[in-house]
Amino acid sequence: MKLSLLFKLLLLACIVYVFGLSIDIMGVDSSQYASISREMAETGNYLQVKHRGDDYLDKPPLLFWVSSLFFKLFGYHNWSFKIGGFLFTLLGVYSTYRLGKLLYNITVGRLAALMLFTCQAFFLFNHDLRTDTILTGSVIFAIWQLVEWLHDNKWKWLIGASAGMALAMLAKGPIGLMVPVLAIGGYLIGAGRWGDIFRWQYLVALLLIGLMLSPMLYGLYQQYDMHPEKTVRFVSSDGVQLQTGVSGIEFYFWTQSFGRLTGENVWKDNSGPFFFVHNFIWSFLPWSLLFILAFFSRIVDILKVILKGKKLPELLTLLGFLLPFIALSLSNYKLPHYIFVIYPLASILLAGWWHEKIMLPGKFTSWRYNLSLFLQLLVVISSFMIVYFIYFYFFPGATAVEIMIAFTGIAIAIYFMFKPRGKGINLIIASAIVSVSANYTMNTWFYPELLEYQAGSNLAKYSNQKNIDPHNVFFYRYFIFSYGYYVQATVETIHDESIKERLERGEETYIITTKRDLADLQRDFELDILKKVRSYPVTNLSIDFLMAEKRSTKVKPVYLVKAIESKE
């Protein structure tokens, strides 16, 4: 792929990412993380993570450290919360390029970087920011650095790898070490470098990782291990659970990660062992169908090599993808973004296979290319239909210019798909353009319209416009993280007696509640209804909500009211 063309495609994708940075922060997880980061920035307590003044143990601190730093520098904005994750994404894309170049050649590196930057998962978890965003960039950086070190044994690479694994573990725990170890193990096996499996320098790397983790571990020890009498609240799928004698260090190294395999972790769901299979198909679009073809083709190639007694091919990407995929599939609790960490390796595997089987002279086979063309046509048709439904059925009302930009991109993609020369590279270009066009629609129209149904951020905008003191605002039998972030305050819950007491003292009292609970309040208090917003859990979409004519059956009202006086 020509360098100028690569830059143009990456630049187009980057513009779409930048559009996403300004989108309101989505609930539940992202808005909770933003709220924690705001609290950390305001208190200056970086070693002990707290939320709403209470201990928070669920996630390591790196996301909160990064976001609070940007809050300090630039203030509280959507983009200042997300920019740290985007920078780690750029690090991950660059590291993918360098690793692909190292394992194969510069063309594979460029293809892999483009595939990763334009896959659906990366667009998604850059505006719905998760700890996995930072984890993914750190992990692939660490793997690249390790392979560089194995090539020339320079200490700078081992120090870089140690930093990458430490950052990954600070982002999400031991998985930040597990994935690089499994990937490098596959690399050494494929290369037949058995002597490199045990080297004394690994002890130095572990020491460096430990030193980099020490601030977090010291904070965990101070916050939990020194206080076994402390009652710690765990929010689980079964509700709030209270525990004493909690070790923060044990929770970090064992319970939160491996405890999901052993059952010690309280989080459980009904997801089966194949949960990640169908989630991979949508989240790695537009490349997932091609990857499946490449994945099984690579396995067949390996079996042929073994039977012929020849040297094994590169196994880093295959085993680095497959082994964590299996391990994560055995967990008792799964969410789609848990496997995004291995998408850089999937991109390199696919790019390497594509370059070898489609682009190299003498390797091109019509059946393989025609099958790939058919699969990508399915992706293009699906993307066209999704964009069409977004503009004309889900959220009609976009301008003609916005609609034209999206469909022009898809038309250009179709042109490249059937361009007679350069078939192999043109199909990749077409797929990337389709992804950028579809996500242009998502980031400039779909998500902004969708977030009109996020009660917390919309009520907060109203409160800020009316200069309502957030310390006089309370939740009544209802709670949303995003409101507290956007009004930059810790908003407490309240009950009837407290409302009466505040009114008796002449204190202004504003209440956020649902329609059902509003009726209960109206029986006891005179209320002034200030604002009614439409509410829907925007990260849990259904077809009935998406269809404009059925949406009213799924949307529930949430109110901001002012208590005037008690009726008693």
State residue 189's pLDDT score: 87
Q: Given the structure tokens 């209470």, which residue do they identify? A: 54
pLDDT in tens, 388-441: 999 999 999 999 999 999 999 999 999 988 887 767 888 999 999 999 999 999
Q: Given the structure tokens 């892999």, which residue do they identify? A: 112
Q: Given the structure tokens 């529930």, which residue do they identify? A: 556
Report the candidate in 71, 123, 196 with the shortest Cα–Cα distance to residue 486.
Answer: 71
pLDDT in tens, 232-259: 776 655 666 777 878 878 888 877 776 5
Spatial contact of 60 and 114, defined as CB atoms under 8 Å apart:
no
Tokens of 410: 């898809």
Tokens of 506: 């002449």
Residue spans of beta strands (DSSP E) within 20-87: 50-51, 54-55
Q: Could you write out the DSSP letters of every residue in 497-534?
A: HHHHHHHHTT---EEEEEHHHHHHHHHHEEEEEEEEEE
**166 exposed, middle or buried (CB, 10 Å; 0-12, 13-18, 19+)?**
buried
Tokens of 48: 């002990």
Spatial contact of 119 and 284, defined as CB atoms under 8 Å apart:
yes
Q: Count how many residues are written for the chain.
A: 568
Tokens of 260: 């999901």
pLDDT less than 70: residues of the chain: 1-2, 234-240, 258-271, 362-364, 422, 568
Task: Report the alpha-carbon distance of residue 253 to residue 212 in Å, rounded.
Answer: 15
**268 exposed, middle or buried (CB, 10 Å; 0-12, 13-18, 19+)?**
middle
Spatial contact of 438 and 386, defined as CB atoms under 8 Å apart:
yes
Residue spans of beta strands (DSSP E) within 39-111: 50-51, 54-55
Q: Could you write out the DSSP letters of every residue in 400-468?
A: HHHHHHHHHHHHHHHHHHT-SSSHHHHHHHHHHHHHHHHHHHIIIIIHHHHGGG-HHHHHHHHHHHTT-
Q: Could you write out the DSSP letters of every residue in 235-275?
A: EETTEEEEESS--HHHIIIIITTTHHHHT-SS------TTH
**Count of Cβ atoms closer than 10 Å to residue 201 Cβ:** 12
Give the chain's mean pLDDT. 89
Could you say which DSSP state residue 221 is in?
I
State residue 236's pLDDT score: 59
State residue 259's pLDDT score: 56
User: Is 0.85 topped by the overall pTM?
Assistant: yes
All residues at 6 or more sequence positions from 298 whose CB lies less than 8 Å from its CB, including other chains:
313, 318, 349, 353
Task: Report the alpha-carbon distance of residue 106 to residue 30 in Å, rounded.
Answer: 36
Spatial contact of 409 and 434, defined as CB atoms under 8 Å apart:
yes
